[in-house]
Amino acid sequence: MTLHLRPRSPDDLPELVTVLRAVHERMGYPSVWPDNPAAFVQGRGEAWVAEQDGQLVGQVMLAPLPEPRPDWVREAQVPLEVKRLFVSPDAQRGGTARALLAHALSEARRRGAFSVLQVNESSVPALRLYEREGWRFVARTRAPWTDPDGSHPWVRVYAQPSS
C-alpha cells in the first residue's frame, strides 16, 4: 500500500466528511459532531490529504492562530497551528498520522513559522503520537468549544519538536 500526500481540493470534502464521521463514531473526534461537517473539515487554512489505494484516509491543516494570540505564544514567534488532523480508523497504526504531521511541520518550517497544536486531554492516542514525535508540552488551558456535557474540556498545547 502506497501512501500519497497532496494538497486538498474542494472535490475531496465529501469523502473527507465520510472519513471524519467514521473517526467521530469510533474515536470520538470531534467530541461534538458539527452542524456543518464540510465546513469543519474545510476550516480556515491550508490542508493536505493522505490517499491510500485511491481512497482518502486522512487530512491535516495548517492555520494561523486567531487574534488575540494566547499568552503561551511568545512575541517573536510567527505561529501556525496544526489542526484537523484525522485518519480513518481502518488506516490507523500504519504511519499515516505521522506522515501528515511531519508534512505539516515541514511546510511550517519552510515558511519560517513556529508550529503549535492543541489536543483534548481525553484524546490519549493523539497525546501519545505528539509526545512520541517529540512535540513539547507548553501549556494546559480550557478549550473554547464544549463537549457533549456542555463543559469546556482541558486541552494540552504542544510546540514543534526541535529541528
Phi, psi (5° rounding) for residue 57?
Answer: -125, -5
Domain regions of the chain by residue span? 3-159
Taking only the tens place, the pLDDT of each residue in 51-94 is: 999 999 999 999 987 765 566 665 556 688 999 999 999 988 88
Written as nine digits, the cell of 32 is: 461534538
Taking only the tens place, the pLDDT of each residue in 109-146 is: 998 888 889 999 989 989 999 999 999 998 899 988 88
Q: What percent of the chain has pLDDT over 70?
A: 90
* pTM of structure: 0.90
Place of cell 511546510: 107
CA distance 64 to 139: 18
Strands 46-52 and 3-7: antiparallel
What is the fold, at CATH topology level, of the domain defined by 3-159?
Answer: Aminopeptidase (3.40.630)
* Residue pair 121/137 in contact by the 8 Å Cβ criterion: no
pLDDT at 67: 65
Looking at the predicted structure, is the pLDDT value of residue 147 above 60?
yes
